[in-house]
Structure 1
Amino acid sequence: MAYTRSAIVTGGTQNLGYHAALDIARQHPDWLVVVCSRSDREHAADSINEALKQSNTIFISLDLSDSKSVRNFAKDWVAKNYPPIQALCLNAALQFPGQIVYTAEGIEATFAITHVGHALLFHLLCPHIASKARVVITASGVHDPANYSGLPPAVYTTGEELAHPPPAIANGPGQGHYSNAKLANILWTYALHKRLRQRIPDRGVAVNAFDPGLMPGTGLAREYSAPMRFLWHKVFPKITPILKTVYGGNIHKPSDSAASLAWLAVSNETDGISGKYFEGKKEIPSSKDSYDETKIDDLWRWTLQYCAQDDTEAARFEGFT
């Protein structure tokens, strides 16, 4: 079958990403839906195809902590001449609750996976993104200290200090890196929205940030201790209604949050909406710091400088060509 468009979901083999890919594939059997992760041990693509009695979902390996893997993904995408990308869901994330973890390239791992790898992927694939495409970045309410999430509050100094934290940050609680990375997701959403409107307004590419809420049972806790993993995977999912009553309404099953993610990515109702932050299907304000233009511009400059291999590529990334 000749597919008309493509949709890409990072972290698409499990939980939120899996269900979002399933929803998109169901709504658009004429699209190629690509689920990405380091591996597909659960055969997610096959599972989606079997559930829908379709064959439009495939798996492509992608390690967001490794720039070579991201570049190989993009090269393979071009070589295989896949259809234009209509929906790009930058969803993958990971927490490291203990001591700081670095990638092989020397970047703090939470920031590398959650922000840097996604930014590089976007810039490499930008020439293959369709007119009026949607980019949805999975953020989190933990970025906002006003939400009292229980995680350390996000503190943005510079992009360089999130990538290579000084001792004051590096030696702090590991979950603080997650709060910081999620703030970076929203800062980058606003930076990207502004520059898309300036550089390529005629293409109408939209970008929004999305908070799926707390989703007990997802793979986010796979780096936690065995007792915490047991609670997260076996206990909390069974008492989600109680948790919602006690802690508030933004606690969901992955499939429910995925419906909102798919809605942002493909629904006609969200056509033309860009530069916003959503909690589920509701547009809400993000944190005070997330609107700081100094922070937004700093992250944009640092990201381009780090991701681009040379001045020519930096110019291409900056101009979205």
Structure 2
Amino acid sequence: MANKASSILVTGGTQGMGYHCTRAIAGQCPDTLVVIASRTDPNDAAATINKALNQSNVEFMPLDLSFLSKVRDFAKRWEAEKRPPIQALVFNAAGQWPGVVEYTDDGIEKNFAVNHLGHALLFHLLAGKLVGDARIVVVSSGVHDPEMGWGMIPNWTTAEEMARPSKESEKRSNGMDRYAASKVANILWMLALSRRLSASSAHANKTVVAFDPGLMPGTGLQRNWSWFARWLIANVLPKMVPLLRVVWNQNIHLSEESGESLAWLVVGEEVRGKGIYYEGRMEQKTAVVTRDEGLQEDLWGWTVERVSEGREEREAFGRLD
């Protein structure tokens, strides 16, 4: 692959919205290296996009966000292979564990680990590679806000309780509510990061925003659901999107549509600022719970403490070195 002046990293860019986002970015930025990072790339997404665009600027790197050690391995490989400076980090990868509480090998509830903690560590490890006006785009979801009517209740208390729920919480909660809580974490972390970037002269020109893609039938997000639910979501619901918008909620989209909107946040010239939450391409308010600075700081401090290895790294992450 030819040398590129800068790079864009999209986690989970091998299928669904992430794939369509990556394809849109690669087409608009042919001189930028676009790296898609996921556990696997079974359909050879990078090669497929390169062939479709008659380009060679998309590349795949394996990344498993459920293991903090593997996130570190990814960052070490990025450094060793001397990737170009990072123009944008797109934290798109996500998973849903809808049943009983499941934990990663690091002892973290899986929705929380993959959807928040792995990405947070990845940011800290790659922060020194960001260009001065880099963008950080965090994919959240409208399910973080019970008032949006998606039927999920995040029940946010503290970062520790969300990451390592007590036995009583395990009994009371369900997997989809825990997924919604991980989307609360995305917003809280984005707002805490926004405040820190704004206060730092070295990072003042960076953009950090969060994105709600809406409900998207047919993506790989439900890979841990039952086979029948996966079949229904992949084969029936996408054909019903126009009807669902009329009878249920306007914020329902095909993955292609949401992918285009996500790409706009990543490379659109008019997108600037910090701490903004977008539903599609429209600015929206976040849930009341996410506006609590005390909860933002609780999550930020807990996250830095949990992902750091030793005092030196903890201090560096705290300073955004």
Q: TM-score if structure 2 supplies the norm length?
A: 0.98
For 2:298 and 2:99, locate their aligned partners in 1 and report how far apart those are by CA, in whole Å. Answer: 28
> Which residue of the partner structure matches residue 184 of structure 1?
185
The alignment partner of 1:185 has SS state of helix
Given residue 304 of structure 1, which amino acid in structure 2 is its aligned partner? V
For the Cα contact (< 8 Å) 1:215–1:251, is it kept in 2?
yes
Tell me, yes or no, if the aligned pair for 1:199 and 1:320 is still in contact at 8 Å.
no
* Aligned-partner Cα distance in 1 for 2:36–2:129: 17
Residue type of the alignment partner of 2:145: D
Give the match for residue 245 of structure 1: 246
In structure 2, the residue matched to 1:15 is: 16
Aligned to 1:168: 168
Structure 1 segment 103-118 matched on structure 2, within 5 A: 103-118=104-119
1:62-77 correspondence runs (5 A): 62-77=63-78
Bigger shift: residues 196-205 or 165-174: 196-205
SS at match of 1:132: strand
Which residue does the alignment assign to 2:101?
A: 100
In the alignment, which residue of structure 1 is the partner of 2:211? 210
Q: Hey, which bits of structure 1, 4+ residues long, moved more than 3 A?
A: 200-203
Please give the alpha-carbon distance, in whole angstroms, between the structure 2 residues aligned to 1:203 and 1:78: 24
Whether the 8 Å contact between 2:191 and 2:275 is mirrored in structure 1 is yes
Secondary structure in 2 aligned to 1:59?
A: strand
Deviations 1:271-313 (A, max 9, x none): x322110000000001000101110000000000001001100
Aligned to 1:146: 147
In the TM superposition, what is the alpha-carbon distance from 1:2 to its structure 2 partner?
Answer: 2.1
The verdict on how the C-alpha distance between 1:202 and 1:36 changes in structure 2, with shifts beyond 3 A counting, is closer
Specify the alignment match of 1:195 in structure 2. Answer: 196
Distance 1:128 1:203 in 2: 16
By how many angstroms is 1:169 displaced? 2.3
Partner Cα separation in structure 1 for residue 102 and residue 237 of structure 2? 27
Over aligned residues, Cα RMSD in angstroms? 1.0
| Separation of aligned partners in 1, 2:204 and 2:57 | 26
> SS where residue 123 of structure 1 aligns?
helix
- Matches of 1:254 and 1:188 in 2, distance apart? 25
Match of 1:278 in 2: 278
Q: Is the 8 A contact 2:212 2:280 kept in 1?
A: yes
1:187 positional shift: 0.4
Q: How far apart are the structure 1 equivalents of 2:113 and 2:139?
A: 15
Deviation at residue 320 of structure 1 after TM alignment: 1.3
Decide which moves more: 192-201 or 210-219. Answer: 192-201
- TM normalised by structure 1 equals 0.98
* Aligned residue number for residue 155 of structure 2: 155
Give the match for residue 126 of structure 1: 127
CA deviations 1:26-66 (Å, max 9, x no partner) are: 00010000001001111010111011000110000000000
- 1:59 equivalenced with 2:90 (yes/no): no
What is the one-letter code of the residue matched to 1:106?
A: G
Change over 3 Å in CA distance of 1:19–1:154 after alignment to 2: same
| 1:246 CA drift (Å) | 0.9
* Gaps in structure 1 of 5+ consecutive residues: none
Asked if structure 1 preserves the Cα contact closer than 8 Å seen for 2:197 and 2:203, the reply is no
Distance 2:38 2:11 in 1: 6
Aligned counterparts of 1:199 and 1:11: Cα–Cα separation in 2: 30
Contact 2:132 2:202 in 1 (8 A): no
Q: Which deviates more, 223-232 or 212-221? A: 223-232
The range that moved more, 202-211 or 177-186, is 202-211
Do the aligned partners of 2:12 and 2:18 also contact (CA within 8 Å) in 1? yes
Q: What secondary structure, in the 3-state scheme, does the structure 2 residue paired with 1:54 have? A: coil
